[in-house]
Amino acid sequence: MSNAKRNRAMPDIMPDITSDILTEKTFAQKTNVSRETMANIRIYVNLLTKWQKRINLVSQSTMPDLWSRHFYDSFQLKAHLSGLNVEKTKILDIGSGAGFPGLLLSMLGLGEFHMVESNNKKCAFMRQVIRETNCNAVIHNERIENIRPFHVDYIISRACAPLNKLFDLSRNFIHEDTICLFLKGQTAEKEIAEAQRNRTFEVEKFTSVTQDRGMLLKVSHIKALGHVD
């Protein structure tokens, strides 16, 4: 069974802003990122707005609230990735889509991000963002099952798949020290219960700063049932 810890507020991050519509200015104020970082994020926003007219990168209904729904939602993972050895830390982003949360986090200088996405057009978009911002990210344009495993310290994902499926997809990258950070919606508790049927793990649950019933799950010590060290 999992060792599930009670819901906690996000460490070192701003209070819930669910009712707010963020702008570039208020995002910068809440996150306190450098002007250089904001310049790169602005490039990201402009490219996303441009490409969205041609391909469906994110749900069209979220476009008026990009700063909160996508950028600030992704930013909340920073509290769990700060203080790392940036030169050595590798972070795997499963089902990257338009680059959330990995590309945004890579602009904060938190490590080397590996973006896994099978959609060619979405990968083309992310490559342009990387070229224009020079962020520390690598694109893997294929399904994660087909990628030769390599060592990663963190696995992250946002709106990609249920928890049990995420464990299945990333099983070749999970080792005893791997930490998973998954942004989840209102089904988080149900997904945890279902995942317990196949694995043991420890999970910390943090209240989302952007969704009333959302959570950030911090999962560690993941082992398949019947696993022998």
Find the mean pLDDT for residues 86-113.
96
Token pair 């990609």: residue: 160
Domain extent, residue 99, equals: 3-12+19-224
Overall number of domains in the chain:
1
Contact 161, 185 (CB under 8 A): no
pLDDT attached to residue 4: 59
Find the mean pLDDT for residues 50-61.
96
pTM of the model: 0.91
CA torsion through residues 147, 152, 158, 164, sign = positive
**Element of type H or E holding 168:** helix 163-169
Find the mean pLDDT for residues 190-214.
95
* In a domain? residue 76: yes
**Element of type H or E holding 218:** strand 215-224
Cβ neighbours of residue 53 closer than 8 Å, sequence gap 6 or more: none
- Picking from 22, 104, 79, the residue whose alpha carbon sits closest to that of residue 206 is 79
pLDDT attached to residue 15: 46
pLDDT attached to residue 5: 58
Examine the pLDDT at 132 and tell me if it is beyond 70: yes
Among the ranges given (33-47, 105-119, 178-192, 213-227), the one the predictor scored with the smallest mean pLDDT:
213-227
- Which residues share a beta bridge with 220? 202
**CATH code: domain of residue 174:** 3.40.50.150
Among the ranges given (2-11, 16-25, 100-109, 111-120), the one the predictor scored with the smallest mean pLDDT:
2-11
* In a domain? residue 196: yes
* In a domain? residue 229: no
